[in-house]
Amino acid sequence: MHLAGWLFSLGLLASTAKVINFDTFPLGKTPPGWSVAMTSSGTAPRWEILKDGTAPTQPYVLAQVSPDSNDSRTALAILNDVSLRDGDVTVRVKPVAGHKDQGGGVVWRYLDENNYYFARADALLRTVSVFKVQNGRRIPLVAGIRHEIPLNGWCILKISARGDRFQVYLDHRRVAQGQDRTFTGAGKVGLCTGSDSITYFDDFRVYPK
């Protein structure tokens, strides 16, 4: 048996993890391989690499630094070369500032800026929530699970998707789960912030299943 066939029979090629720590990208720019998008109207998002002494992986983070008071605005950073249906997506999130929103989230099964799922941790409201965006309309799937989210501190947000079911973890503890059949195929993955939130992200990981 060829080596590739042997590895596949053991499941070693069935899934390939992707880990991005942002530490090799140029400062002040959107990292290569990522696309910036926005749902609804408002100020264009600005995603750029910054230096942060508290970063879990030193020295850089990816930050969304353009605030906007539009409540329905969602700023998106989408990874171009990964398509995922089932798997786990995890990231470290640091909410830094915002009057209406202080948080960030993970995007999965992204088709375009108007159709995708996302889970969000919000330090201002102290909640974890899950939404689908369908034809540009944000619809709650899991709304307002109470949980302490540190402002100017790091937490780990993870989404696990299998078929029409999903689970959300915060700091390795499952805090929410649900089911939806709107987007059943593969889509891209990425990051998001809402309204005027300034948020840092680090250690982005994708594990297909």
12, pLDDT greater than 60: no
Q: From CA 128, how far away is CA 143, in angstroms rounded?
A: 7
Number of domains the chain is built from: 1
pLDDT in tens, 16-72: 899 999 999 999 999 999 999 999 988 999 999 999 999 999 999 999 999 998 888
User: Residues 146-165: what's their mean pLDDT?
Assistant: 97
Contact status, residue 167 vs residue 173, Cβ threshold 8 Å = no
Residue span of the structural domain in which 121 resides: 16-208
* Residue-by-residue DSSP string for 72-99: T-EEEEEEEEEEESSEEEEEEEEEEE-S
Q: What 3-state class would DSSP assign to 135?
A: coil
Domain CATH code at residue 59: 2.60.120.560
The reported pTM is: 0.91
Distance between CA 182 and CA 19 in Å, rounded? Answer: 28
Q: Tell me the per-residue pLDDT of 66-102, one tens digit each, with 9 for 90 and over.
A: 999 888 899 999 999 999 999 999 999 999 999 999 9
Name the phi and psi angles at 32, rounded to 5. -60, 145
CA dihedral sign, ordered 21, 142, 36, 85: positive
Residue 8 located in a structural domain: no
Query: 124-151: per-residue pLDDT in tens?
Result: 999 999 999 999 999 999 988 999 999 9
Of 142, 148, 157, the closest CA to residue 200 belongs to 157
Q: Is the torsion defined by CA of 37, 42, 48, 53 positive or negative?
A: negative
Q: What's the pLDDT at 15?
A: 55
The yes-or-no verdict on residue 1 having pLDDT over 80 is no
The reply to whether 131 falls in a domain is yes
Average pLDDT, the chain: 92
